[in-house]
Structure 1
Amino acid sequence: MRLMYIESSLKKRCQRILDENGGHIADQSSRILLEDPLLKDLQSPLEFISKNWRDPLTPALMKLSCEAVGGQPEATHEVALSLSLMNLSFFVWDDIVDNTVYKSFKPTLFGKFGEGPALIIGGLASAKAFSILNELDIDIKKRQAVTKLIWSLWAKMGTAEKVNLSSRRQTASSNKLWVIKTEATDLETCLKLGATLGDGSDEEVNQLGKYGLNFGVILELWKDYMVSINLTFELAEKIRDNRLPYSLLWAREQSENLQKKLEKLATTESIQPSDIKEVVEHVLATEPLKNIMKHIRTSTKKAKGCLSGLEVNDSTKTLNFFVEAQAQLFIESLSVLQV
């Protein structure tokens, strides 16, 4: 089953919001390592990153969070660039840990260049991020708050990865759901940083952080579901390595036929396309979309509730619209399928 994405007016509007608020920093973060003359010997993998990785979401949400509390958006530039580079590190390293060679029919950095170069690029991205943070020209109190939030993010992401690794042989979908919610910490941190840099109150920082956490859960569930029903190399790899996504774990708990099929594949040397198609058919028979939509609607309601106590301005209106749009965008992305 291949997912055919639709360029709807809603999707175009959301993309415009991202590009207007985070496009410049997204472009800068994707090429900052490539343009460093000290890294000319790593040109090939850095060119691959520059062409295949772009993160407008992080800088856009940080800017909007800052503006939501009355702050000046330029105050977020360096921190947003740094966090975007850290996300690049997490992105690359996660593929190594999960042994992900392909995503959406394309090779990952790890898949194309191997573990060594991927480890190096991930490390360089974080080193660059921290060098940028080290040069921040902000008061000591705000610097301490930023440092604390960044360290908390790294600690939580590390813990989530540890749990993810240790729970691969466990069958409960609830374990994977916990990991998904923990990995959404990156957007929680993003929104908290924006509000902190905008001189928001403790309450505003916490509420915008909760908004980011729930927004992150929505995006993680969306990504997880796509992998669970998509006939790609990525799904075959996850089944082979027993790294099942949440939706597949949940479906296995509902279907004896799926459970038996996965047990059989666990002892099979080679997983064929027909096997993946059968797995996806079993998954869809359990109607996992209803379960995912329940979680997405719950997270959407929580995120919108976090904005209710903030002063209404253009940025809070944009944040409200943006999280409301995700459920519809998710459905639109599933509207045309090829089996």
Structure 2
Amino acid sequence: MHQEENLARKLVAVLEEKSSEALKIAKAIMLAEPPKSKKAKNAMDYYIKNWYNIIHPGLIRLAGESVDADPNLITQAQVAMLMLTAAFDVQDDIIDRSLVKSGKQTVFGKYGIDTAILIGNAFLIKGFVALRDLGVATEKMNKVFDLIGKAFYELGNAHALEIELRKCKKVPITSYWRVIKMKAACFRADVELGAIISKASTEEMEILKCYGQIVGELIVLRDDFIDVFEAEELRNRIKNEILPMPVLYALEDKNECKKIEKILSKPNITESDVDFLVDCIFKSKNVAKLVEKMQNLVKQSVKKLEGLRKSQSRELMQHLALAMLEGISKIE
């Protein structure tokens, strides 16, 4: 367990280092042309002050470095993706009615829906401008726009399907798996983007694309596990979203089902309720099967990367996949 924690801490430090320059540039671009409205400006300042994203830019740089991409091109690609994912982040909070996330008010929760939509639009526009300014050859630029367009369209479809599934009294696990696979598209796009702007071969491109899809699924699944541990997030998932995947799996377990349903039916879930729910999930044999699926995904991603030449970036990408099991694999 300590080894997993040490690995995760080291990875966070590495990803922060590999993302810091791009995040600094992205913040400067957004602050250089502030909204004219005082409320919108305050909302933009608020988002930028709390803006922390190391996964998307980190994946782009690791993938790009693994196939010898130009460092400056990588940074520009990171800046573009930081803005585009920020746009979807803000809009996600509106769709999910998330007023608070990670202990802080969202832009939607603090400034309301109208301002949040405008802030999301600003990030989206600036993101595509940054993408246009990549400065790669026309053929590669066409591939980049095609990649980003398809990835975010797939992500949008994932959210549309998720909204539809909210109407179900009991969400089928197979349907939610489909949502997770579709949500992985933006992480797959990070890795593919790093490959496209490099001199990657067709084989290397395919390896990185496959890795990106798998690690994307692992990231989404890990976030679902984290939501179980946070009372505020769990309350919002129960009220406005689909239940986290580990809860759906545990509800299929006859030994834990009634206890979990009792907790979920409470009007106000407390920290002690969360502790009890986590205990039920960790005892569930069905959830152990979910963890086993995640372990298999990790093995697949690590093995897939063996097809790339040995490098520090390849090793870090493998470690990133392994870190997705931190604090989860003890369910075995």
Q: Aligning the two structures, in what range does the TM-score lie when normalised by the shorter sequence?
A: 0.7 to 0.9
Moved over 6 A (4+): none
Deviates more, 1:274-283 or 1:119-128: 274-283
Read off the aligned partner of 1:84 and give its amino acid letter.
L
Read off the aligned partner of 1:127 and give its amino acid letter.
I
On the 8 A contact 2:281/2:287 being kept in 1, the answer is no
Counterpart in the other structure of 1:25:
22
Give the counterpart of 1:162 among 150, 160, 163: 160
Distance, in Å, in 1 between the alignment partners of 2:317 and 2:45 is 33
On the 8 A contact 2:60/2:194 being kept in 1, the answer is yes
**SS of alignment partner, residue 198 of structure 1:** coil
Counterpart in the other structure of 2:10:
13
On the 8 A contact 1:55/1:84 being kept in 2, the answer is yes
**SS of alignment partner, residue 327 of structure 1:** coil
Alignment of 1:271 onto 2:271: no
Alignment of 1:219 onto 2:219: yes
Distance, in Å, in 1 between the alignment partners of 2:163 and 2:307 is 38
How far has the Cα of 1:178 moved from its partner? 1.7
Distance, in Å, in 2 between the alignment partners of 1:20 and 1:118 is 29
Counterpart in the other structure of 1:337:
none
Counterpart in the other structure of 2:207:
207
How far has the Cα of 1:81 moved from its partner? 0.9
- Distance change >3 Å, CA 6–CA 152, structure 1 → 2: same
Read off the aligned partner of 2:96 and give its amino acid letter.
D
How far has the Cα of 1:97 moved from its partner? 0.9
> Aligned Cα RMSD in Å?
2.8
Read off the aligned partner of 2:234 and give its amino acid letter.
L
- Distance change >3 Å, CA 28–CA 135, structure 1 → 2: closer
How far has the Cα of 1:290 moved from its partner? 2.1
Counterpart in the other structure of 1:136:
134
Counterpart in the other structure of 1:239:
238
**SS of alignment partner, residue 68 of structure 2:** coil
Q: How does 1:36-51 map to 2 (within 5 A)?
A: 36-39=33-36, 41=38, 42-51=40-49
Distance, in Å, in 2 between the alignment partners of 1:285 and 1:234 is 22
Gaps of 5+ in 1: 335-339
On the 8 A contact 2:163/2:241 being kept in 1, the answer is no
Alignment of 1:195 onto 2:195: yes
CA-to-aligned-CA distance 1:162-211 (integer Å, 9 cap, x gap): 11111121421221122112111111111111111002122211210111
Q: TM-score by structure 2 length?
A: 0.87
**SS of alignment partner, residue 309 of structure 2:** coil
Counterpart in the other structure of 1:116:
114
Read off the aligned partner of 1:220 and give its amino acid letter.
V
Read off the aligned partner of 1:20 and give its amino acid letter.
E
Read off the aligned partner of 2:220 and give its amino acid letter.
E
Gaps of 5+ in 2: none
On the 8 A contact 1:258/1:279 being kept in 2, the answer is no
* Aligned pairs, number: 326
How far has the Cα of 1:280 moved from its partner? 4.6
Alignment of 1:151 onto 2:149: yes
How far has the Cα of 1:151 moved from its partner? 0.7
Counterpart in the other structure of 1:317:
315
Distance, in Å, in 1 between the alignment partners of 2:324 and 2:225 is 14
Deviates more, 1:280-289 or 1:300-309: 280-289
Distance, in Å, in 2 between the alignment partners of 1:104 and 1:22 is 20
CA-to-aligned-CA distance 1:36-61 (integer Å, 9 cap, x gap): 24556322212221222211222222
How far has the Cα of 1:315 moved from its partner? 2.1
- Distance change >3 Å, CA 254–CA 165, structure 1 → 2: same
- Distance change >3 Å, CA 264–CA 136, structure 1 → 2: closer
